[in-house]
């Protein structure tokens, strides 16, 4: 009980740095991915720092999704995938048209509705067309993929939308933050994160979930104020803090989770779609693979006030960002991640995640029952939890 009270007190001190909904995302067509199937990525930056993952049984489509810790009905979600292989996520677009007096901030409800009803990218477009109006409550970019190879971005406000297909871009993917291409230029937010994510995606010949999770989601640099490359962190003196400012980084103090949806190619079984999810700031946690077909989510990702894996991540975050007051928590001590004494935890997190990815790829070479999928994801969640518990 004392540990729980101490953690909650610490998070209340950190609370001022978690403001708004500012996310970094990408929609990747099969032409740019490692296996020919589309991918969808979101680093969720939010004032709702506690996240959970839940399974929602519905008709016609059940789904798994990331939610705020106090909203577990499944009627408001912030990234998810359903039993048809349709996945969706969003980022707020602060430069889209907005009329006073109209409904706003209903993106979570829109995405939950879409997960229940949509099978394809086209279904989602039809959904937006039917619901456009002052009651829609949208000011956002939605990334969607489906089991037919579709991968698109929708820039949606209450009175209109623009669809952008990833395959139509030269790179065959779309990077996005908190502005819309169809909105007012140089308005909105996230331009530095956009530039940095663009740099990182260009380095990959073929993009995989592991590349996104290990090198993009956890990036703590930005184009204007670069930090030492990760390969040099092991040379940092362990007895002297190395402070870096990360509020303009992809991995930020407000990053509450990171999600990569690994879709399937057209003609393949949608049930093989995977949701990779990191609960907590990415440099303080590890990804777990999940399947809708499993019919459940490991308790470590949803049980209690704060999900156990998220609780451990937040404990580690307090070590990484120990400064209190004002904007001081926006600074992290890089030596906590790696140093010349070998006491940093990032190599362990990356190694464990690589092991999980290899085990998952081997596991998915054959088909499995719901019970087998549930057992495997439970095993992986326990591996993550045990690893995080080792960090002090």
pLDDT digits (tens, 9 = 90+) for 320-344: 999 999 999 999 999 999 999 999 9
Structural domains of the chain in order of their starting residue, each with its CATH number: 2-389 (3.60.60.10)
Closest Cα to residue 64, out of 76, 79, 46? 79
pLDDT digits (tens, 9 = 90+) for 268-278: 999 999 999 99
Phi, psi of 260 (to 5 degrees): -125, 125
| Section 354-366 average pLDDT | 98
User: Tell me, what's the pLDDT at 22?
Assistant: 86
| Section 21-37 average pLDDT | 96
C-alpha span between 295 and 56 (Å, rounded): 8
DSSP for 59-124, written as a single string:
SS--EEEEEETT--SSSS-SEEEETTS-EEEEEE-TTS---TTS----HHHHHHHHHHH-SSHHHH
Q: Contact 156/145 with Cβ under 8 angstroms?
A: no
C-alpha span between 62 and 293 (Å, rounded): 9
C-alpha span between 298 and 211 (Å, rounded): 24
pLDDT digits (tens, 9 = 90+) for 157-188: 999 999 999 999 999 999 999 999 999 998 99
DSSP letter assigned to residue 212: I
Q: 12-21, 65-74, 77-86, 203-212: which has the minimum mean pLDDT? A: 12-21
pLDDT digits (tens, 9 = 90+) for 230-258: 999 999 999 999 999 999 999 999 999 99
């Amino acid at each position: 009980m004392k540990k729980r009270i101490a953690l909650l007190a610490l998070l209340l001190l950190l609370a001022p740095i978690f403001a708004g909904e500012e996310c970094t995302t990408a929609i990747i067509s099969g032409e740019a991915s490692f296996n020919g199937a589309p991918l969808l990525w979101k680093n969720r930056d939010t004032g709702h720092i506690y996240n959970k993952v839940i399974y929602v049984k519905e008709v016609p489509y059940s789904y798994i999704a990331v939610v705020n810790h106090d909203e577990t009905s499944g009627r408001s979600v912030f990234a998810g995938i359903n039993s048809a292989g349709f996945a969706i996520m969003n980022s707020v677009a602060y430069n889209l048209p907005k009329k006073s007096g109209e409904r706003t901030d209903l993106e979570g409800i829109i995405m939950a509705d879409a997960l229940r009803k949509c099978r394809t990218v086209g279904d989602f477009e039809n959904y937006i067309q039917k619901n456009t109006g002052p009651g829609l409550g949208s000011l956002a970019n939605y990334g969607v993929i489906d089991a037919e190879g579709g991968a698109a971005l929708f820039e949606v406000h209450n009175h209109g939308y623009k669809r952008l297909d990833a395959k139509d871009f030269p790179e065959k993917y779309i990077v996005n933050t908190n502005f819309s291409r169809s909105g007012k230029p140089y308005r909105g937010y996230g331009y530095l994160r956009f530039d940095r994510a663009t740099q990182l995606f260009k380095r990959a010949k073929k993009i995989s979930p592991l590349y996104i999770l290990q090198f993009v989601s956890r990036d703590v640099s930005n184009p204007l104020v670069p930090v030492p490359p990760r390969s040099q962190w092991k040379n940092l003196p362990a007895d002297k803090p190395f402070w870096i400012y990360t509020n303009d980084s992809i991995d930020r103090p407000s990053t509450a989770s990171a999600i990569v949806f690994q879709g399937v190619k057209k003609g393949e079984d949608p049930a093989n779609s995977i949701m990779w999810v990191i609960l907590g700031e990415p440099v303080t946690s590890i990804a777990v693979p999940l399947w809708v077909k499993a019919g459940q989510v490991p308790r470590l990702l949803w049980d209690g006030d704060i999900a156990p894996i998220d609780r451990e991540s937040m404990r580690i975050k307090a070590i990484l960002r120990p400064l209190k007051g004002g904007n001081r928590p926006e600074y992290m001590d890089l030596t906590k991640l790696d140093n010349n004494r070998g006491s940093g935890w990032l190599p362990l997190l990356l190694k464990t995640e690589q092991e999980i990815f290899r085990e998952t790829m081997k596991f998915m070479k054959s088909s499995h029952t719901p019970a087998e999928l549930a057992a495997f994801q439970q095993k992986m969640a326990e591996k993550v939890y045990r690893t995080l518990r080792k960090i002090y």
